[in-house]
Amino acid sequence: MKKYFPVVKKLISACLWSSIIAQDFAPVGTSVAQFLEVGNGARYIGMGHTGIAIADGISSLSWNPAGLAKTGNFSIYMNQNQWPADITFSYVAAGTKIGRLGSLAFHILSLQTDAMEITTLEEPDGTGNTFDLVNHSMGITFSRYLTDQVAFGITIKNVKEGYLDYTYSTIAADIGTQYHTNYREFKIGLAIQNFGPDVRFSGGYIDYSDDESYTNALNGEKEFETYSLPMNFKIGTSINIYSKSPSSVILATDMIHSNNNLEDYNLGMEYSYKNQYFLRTGYKTQADISGITFGFGTKFKLKNKILAVHYSYSDLKSLRGNQQISMEFRKN
């Protein structure tokens, strides 16, 4: 295992150094596909949006694909994420072991809203027509243990976003690793999410601040600029700080360096009773409308099958709170 230490040290040093030299300026609004950054998974959201190190099994795909290495013979995962303004995120994933090669999983993430009314300068109250949003991600994940303590995973996904007639579709990747130690279940996780090329929306637009574009209705359309995906570099840790049967307490931390925001530092805790009943809480530091979180969950064991149900609530301050419900069925 010593041969992995230099790599881990360099990655941690790079992440810490980037946070030291970071400016107070937050480049928000410079990336597309913001739906990819919305936290997904009631267990990890309830723990203050921490999941890079602690995520395991089929529920780990949105956090660290390396966690899939710990999946059972067959797993199904569903998550419903309800946001203000009747915005709903739906997530479905299924995975299985593929012998000694590792584990394989598929996922679909979609955002749904009510139809939106089309307005124009001539008809600011609406034209009577509506349009729908298109925001979804579909991908495949492969993960395996490189050693008995180091897991690696990669996700290749198609990301599509569209508003009325303006759309784009691109390929992106998530890459992650987890290192499991023998000391108090201490884990270190590293992940790069949404790594992909810049994208451009199809079609064109009228620039009303440009007289030539505004007055030339036929040939005045401009091409959209290119935008990056919301790429994140994440490092997380988790450790069992208390373990005395039948109770245990896990503490988790995540640090996120994003190309479209300031560094984010999250802290979470999970109390477990008989490894069957769970209480969780956490805090997300940098988000403008997010702070404390909490949640709970339970697992039902039926022979070699497990059904887990989790719930989380996030305080969004002046907005209505965010609620998530996750369900996982696993056959060991």
pTM for this entry: 0.86
Q: What is the pLDDT of residue 290?
A: 65
Q: Of 118-122, 186-190, 256-260, 318-322, which has the strongest mean pLDDT?
A: 186-190
Q: What is the pLDDT of residue 287?
A: 62
Tens of pLDDT, residue by residue over 222-238, are 788 899 999 999 999 99
Mean pLDDT across the chain: 86
Higher pLDDT, 58 or 223: 58
Q: What is the pLDDT of residue 220?
A: 62
Q: What is the pLDDT of residue 254?
A: 96
Tens of pLDDT, residue by residue over 72-120, are 889 999 999 988 878 889 999 999 999 889 999 999 999 988 888 888 7
Q: What is the pLDDT of residue 4?
A: 43
Per-residue pLDDT at 22 exceeds 80: no
Per-residue pLDDT at 209 exceeds 80: no
The residue whose two tokens read 């769970």 is: 278
Average pLDDT over residues 241-257: 95
- CA of 249: how far to CAs of 50, 150, 217, 245, 283, in Å? 15, 23, 64, 11, 16
The highest-level CATH class for domain 2-197+228-331 is mainly beta
**Banded pLDDT at 133 (limits 50, 70, 90):** confident
Tens of pLDDT, residue by residue over 148-175, are 999 999 999 999 999 888 999 999 999 9
Per-residue pLDDT at 176 exceeds 70: yes
Taking the domains of the chain in order of start, what are their residue ranges? Answer: 2-197+228-331
